[in-house]
Chain A
Amino acid sequence: MDEENPKHGPLWLWLDERIGLSDFAKLAKKKQVPLHRHTFWYYFGGMTLFLFMIQVATGILLLLYYRPSAGEAFESIQFLMTEVQFGWLVRSIHSWSANLMIFAMFIHLFSALLLHAYRRPREMTWLSGAGLLGLSLAFGFTGYLLPWNELAYFATRVGTEIPGVVPVVGPFLRRLLRGGNDVTGATLTRFYGIHVAILPAMVTVILGLHLFLVQKHGMSRPASVETDGSEKKSLPFFPNFFLRDVVGWLCALGLLAALAAYYPAELGKKADPFQPAPIGIKPEWYFMAMFQTLKLLPSHILGIEGELLGVLGFGLLGAILVAIPFLDRGAALGKSSSRLATGFGLLLIVYAITLTYLGYTMSPTK
C-alpha cells in the first residue's frame, strides 16, 4: 500500500499485500500511552505478560522430562536437577518467574485498583484481569504439587480441604479437585492436566480478551490527573514506551538469572502420605496471608467453625474485589474521589502484608 515509501523492501510489500502489515503498522503508530505522574504503574501489566511468556517457554522445556505419576514425578525432577544439563536452571527460572509474575500481577492489580482504572468503560478489562489473577493462583497451586514432595503434598491436602469446608457442595468440590477422596497419584495426574492444558487454554482466551480491551479503550488516565487541569501529554507506545518496557524486561531477566543461580529451586523430601506434616510447613508466599489467618482463627467463633468463617471471609473479599467497578459509584460517575474503593485497597494491602509478615516470623511450634 505504501509503495512510495522507500523504507519498505519487496518482502515487506509482498507480505503486506497478503496479510496487511500496514494495518498493524497503523495500529502501532496510533497507540499512545498517557504521560503523567502515575505513568510508572503502567509497566507492570507488560511485566506480568513478559514473565508469563517465560513461564510458557520454561514450562514447555520442563514437560520434556517431567513424568506425572506418584511413582515417578519426584524422581523425574531429581533426575532433571542433577543429571540434565541446565535442568536446574530451567526449573529454577520457572519457579522464580512464577513468583515474580504473581508479584508483578499484584502490583498491577493494586495500581489499577488505587488509580480507579476500572471505571467505565473498562469494567470488562477489570473482570478479565480478575479472571487472570484467579487462573494464575490456580497455576501456582497446581504447579506446587507437581514435584510430589513433602511440602507440596501437605499444601495440597490443606488447599483442597479448604473448599471442602463450604457447606453442601464442599465435599463434592473436594472430590472433584482431588480426583478421589484423598490426595493421591490421581490428584497429581489431575493437577498436571489442569496445569499444562486446561489453565493455559483458559488463559489464552481471557488474556486475548484482556489485551484486546486494553487496545480498544487505551490506557486509563487517572481521574485525579484528568481533572487537575494539567496539559494532557502522551507517549507513543511504539517504539518509545515499548523500548522502556523492554528495559524493564531485561532487568527482570537479569534478576531471574541471579535468583535462579544463587537460590535454585529446592526439591526436599518425597511425599509420604503416612508421615506427619513437617514442622514449619508453609505455602507459597502469596497464600501465606490466608494460611496465617486460618492458623490464628480459633476453633469456634459464635458457634461457627473458625475455618468455615475464614473461608467465607476470603470468598467475600474476593467477591468485593471482583465487583469493585460496580460497587464504586463515585468512580462510575467520573468523580475523582472514590474513597471507599481506595480504603478497601489499602486495607487489603495492609492486611496481606501484616499476616504474611506474621506467617514468616511467628515460631512454628508455638
Chain B
Amino acid sequence: MANDDTSVALDRGRRKFLNWFLGTTAGAFFVSVTYPVSQYLIPPEVEESTASTVTLPIKPNDVKVNTGQIFRFGSQPAILIKDTNGEMKAFSAVCTHLACIVQFRSDISQIWCACHNGHFDLNGRNVEGPPPKPLEQFVVNVRADQIVVNKRS
C-alpha cells in the first residue's frame, strides 16, 4: 500500500509538472502571437513636417480686408486673417476643442468653429463656446510682395 501511495503522489507531481509545462507553453504561444499583432496595429511614426516657416502662395495685396483663408502650414491647416485695420494675422486652424477646422466669420469678425460653435477673437483667444484653449498664433511678415508665416520661437 505504501508503494501505491508513493506512486499516486509521484503521478500527481508529474501531472502538476506537465500541466504547468502545458500552461506555460500555451502562454508563450499566446504571447508570441499577440505581441507581433498588437505591434502591427500601432501605426509607425511618420516624420512630422517640422517646417517652422512657410511662404504663402498669395500676394499681400490680394488679401481682402475682413476675410480669412485656410493655408497649409506643413501638414497642418492654418488660417490667415486680415482684420478691419488691414493687419494680417495667422493662427493654427485646428480648433482646440475637438480638432475641427475653424473659419473666419466676417459678420462677427471672429474665428469660428462650425462643429461645436466655438468662438475665438482675433487674438486667437477662446471667447465663447466649448474650446478650452486659445488657438496657436503665428507671426506674419510681409516681405516685398510675399507673405511669410513663422512659428513663434
Contacts and interface: CB of A to CB of B under 8 A. Distances in A.
Given A154-B100, A364-B114, A305 B132 contact: yes
Interface string B63-88: 00000001110010100000000000
A356 B45 CA distance: 39
A280 B116 CA distance: 10
B114 A277 contact: yes
A366 B117 contact: yes
Contacts of A176: 41-43
Nearest to A165: B98
Contacts of A170: none
B126 interface: yes
Interface in A219-244: none
A323 interface: no
A278 B103 CA distance: 9
Interface in A171-212: 175-176, 178-182, 186
A274 B72 CA distance: 7
B124 interface: no
Nearest to A175: B43
A96 B72 CA distance: 37
A295 B115 CA distance: 8
Contact of B115 (A182, A281, A297): A281
Contact of A298 (B70, B105, B115, B130): B130
Interface string B31-70: 0000000000111001010000000000000000000001
Contacts, number: 90
Nearest to B96: A299
B129 interface: yes
Interface in B85-117: 93, 97-103, 105, 112-117
A157 B100 contact: yes
Name the residue among A276, A306, A365, A366 with the largest chain B CB count within 10 angstroms: A276
Interface string B110-146: 0011111100000000100111100000000000000
Contact of B100 (A158, A298, A365): A158
B98 A274 contact: no
A300 B129 CA distance: 10
Q: Which 9 A-B pairs give the minimum distances between C-beta atoms?
A: A276-B103, A277-B114, A295-B116, A161-B98, A277-B100, A305-B132, A161-B99, A158-B98, A299-B132
Contact of B70 (A154, A158, A276, A366): A276
B114 A278 contact: yes
Contacts of B42: 175-176
A279 interface: yes
A366 B105 CA distance: 12
Contacts of B93: 276
B130 A277 contact: no
Given A281-B115, A291-B116, A365-B105, 15 more contacts: A157-B100, A161-B98, A175-B42, A180-B43, A180-B46, A274-B101, A276-B93, A276-B102, A277-B113, A277-B114, A294-B116, A295-B116, A295-B129, A299-B131, A300-B132
A307 B131 CA distance: 9
Contacts of A297: 130
B54 to A, nearest CB: 13
